[in-house]
Amino acid sequence: MEFPVNKHGVPQYPKGHVGRLLVVLAAIDKLRPATATTVAELTGLSKGNIDSYVASLNAELGVSIVKSGPEYLLESWGDLLKKAGVKKALSASTAS
């Protein structure tokens, strides 16, 4: 299945798709600073939903992301996800 992409080439996964969590995680790893605004800008997701995506990543996928002021800090990838694989979620070529 192919997904449309935003102006940054990031796949626009449908609501409820795990790809949304993966692009948020990859964006937090990539961006400095990683704030709700910068993550939303890169991913095309709603700024107001970034906190809930981060909570889901922490609770469901075992990563550790903390918020320090407005900035998200990735403390641990956990044991479930592979960093290289998650980073591919930001690329349209791997979203099909």
Largest Cα–Cα separation, the chain: 38
pTM of the model: 0.93
Show the domain range for 75: 18-88
Q: How many domains does the chain have?
A: 1
The predicted pLDDT at position 74 comes to 98
Residue 53 vs residue 89, higher pLDDT = 53
On the question of pLDDT at 93 being above 80, the answer is: no
Segment 82-94 shows an average pLDDT of 85
* 72 located within any domain: yes
Residue 59 CB contacts under 8 Å (≥ 6 apart), including other chains: none
DSSP 8-state class, residue 89: G
Residue 35 belongs to a domain with what CATH number?
A: 1.10.10.10
Q: Any alpha helices (H) in 6-49, and if so which ranges? A: 18-30, 36-43
pLDDT per residue over 37-80, tens digit each? Answer: 999 999 999 999 999 999 999 999 999 999 999 999 999 999 99
